[in-house]
Structure 1
Amino acid sequence: MTDTPHPFAPKFEFAFTVGITLSKPKIVRPTSMGAERWGVWAADGWVEGPDVKGKVVPMSGGDFPLLRPNGVIDFDARYFFEMDDGSVIYLQSRGYRWPKTPEIGEKMGRNEDVGPDDYYMRVSPKFDAPEGKYEWMGKYVFVGVAEKIPGANRIHYFKVL
């Protein structure tokens, strides 16, 4: 094995962080597939990074995850940002979260605080952004590394260069 990186290995650049306060979920339990479907709305939040600053538009959308019987959460989030200059941007994101142990899963199920190394939570968003200052958001692939906070999420987005 060599330590030489693959010539096509991606490089990442920090783009921004989004903090989202979540509503109380509505749950279809169980679905006909034996899983649970949740509806969790983006109650409010913020977006901030080197080239962006704004807010999550309250109740403009949310996440509609599928909680699989094996404990994996399959995210499907959609909501809007409004930047400080009034520009509106649409986010659509898919991803996964799963605890690294059953005990951590139980704590997360009770909405208790856990460490960032206790779970896997990654998302892959895409953005509809207006031409001009924010159009770069619709030209790159992004990876989000998410932080689970009781009652909220904080997602750190990185451009894949």
Structure 2
Amino acid sequence: MNKLIAAAALGLAAVAAMAGADAPNGAAAPAPTLTYVFSIRATLDPAVEVGQSEGGRRRFIAVTGGEVYGPRLRGKVLDGGGDWQTILPGGLTKVEAKYFVKTDQGAVIEVTNPGLRTASAEVVERLAKGEDVDPSLYYFRTTPNFRVGAPELDWMQRHAFVARGIRRPDHVVIDYYMVE
């Protein structure tokens, strides 16, 4: 009987050790890694100021084209998309870009790219005026998702992605990373 109790206790200890990974003091699983997959350089029209709404200053910036380049995807950004922004007090800008990409093979990808940009009030105003600002002075991250019809691009719908943006006066560069 003591051997049975000892074996049960050992089994419970092993289960408790495995459950310990779920403990609030530690990660439950290894941290995900990021794999760079492509970048977009999208050309932009000047911002259209909408005015105050939803607690902030609303703007729209039309996407007029651009290029897609990187190890997993090449193509062009199609004209006709846009970026809807809300500039909030305290240096927070919420963004939601929607546009289409056409690959070199002819497949069309619908991109929805919500995110945020944070900076000091001075940097936010400089960016809003279209000035060239050092990217180290702001935080610009997005969580894109993709809709694809081409089977060879299905991987884009089966992974999570994060991206980092750099805003320039007449374009934006967004580097896309797949979360592994």
Query: Which of 137, 148, 152 in structure 2 is aligned with 1:129?
Result: 148
Question: Which has the higher Rg, Structure 1 or Structure 2?
Answer: 2
Does the aligned pair in 1 maintain the 2:114–2:142 contact within 8 Å?
yes
Aligned to 1:106: 125
Pick closer, same or farther for the CA change 1:105–1:39 going to 2, 3 Å. Answer: closer
Q: Within 5 A, what are the aligned runs for 1:69-88?
A: 69-88=89-108
* Shift in Å, 1:155: 0.3
Higher helix proportion (structure 1 or 2): 2
Aligned to 2:85: 65
Q: Which runs of 5+ in 2 are unaligned?
A: 1-25
* Shift in Å, 1:7: 3.6
Pick closer, same or farther for the CA change 1:102–1:70 going to 2, 3 Å. Answer: closer
* Shift in Å, 1:5: 8.1
Aligned-residue Cα RMSD (Å) equals 1.8
Q: Secondary structure at the match of 2:124?
A: helix
Q: Secondary structure at the match of 1:134?
A: helix
Aligned to 2:4: none
Q: Within 5 A, what are the aligned runs for 1:36-55?
A: 36-55=57-76
**Given the alignment of the two structures, is residue 18 of structure 1 paired with residue 40 of structure 2, yes or no?**
yes
* Percent pairwise identity: 31
Q: Secondary structure at the match of 1:64?
A: strand
Q: Secondary structure at the match of 1:52?
A: coil
Q: Which runs of 5+ in 1 are unaligned?
A: none
**Given the alignment of the two structures, is residue 28 of structure 1 paired with residue 53 of structure 2, yes or no?**
no
Q: Secondary structure at the match of 2:122?
A: helix
Letter in 2 for 1:51: R
* Shift in Å, 1:117: 1.2
Aligned to 1:140: 159
Does the aligned pair in 1 maintain the 2:145–2:161 contact within 8 Å?
yes
Higher relative contact order (CA 8 A, sep 6+): 1
Q: Aligned partners of 2:103 and 2:110: how far apart in 1?
A: 11
Aligned residues: 155
Runs of 4+ aligned residues of structure 1 deviating over 4 Å after TM superposition are none
* Shift in Å, 1:6: 7.1
* Shift in Å, 1:51: 2.0
* Shift in Å, 1:107: 2.5
TM-score for both structures, normalised by structure 2: 0.80
* Shift in Å, 1:120: 0.4
Q: Aligned partners of 2:168 and 2:33: how far apart in 1?
A: 27
* Shift in Å, 1:123: 0.3
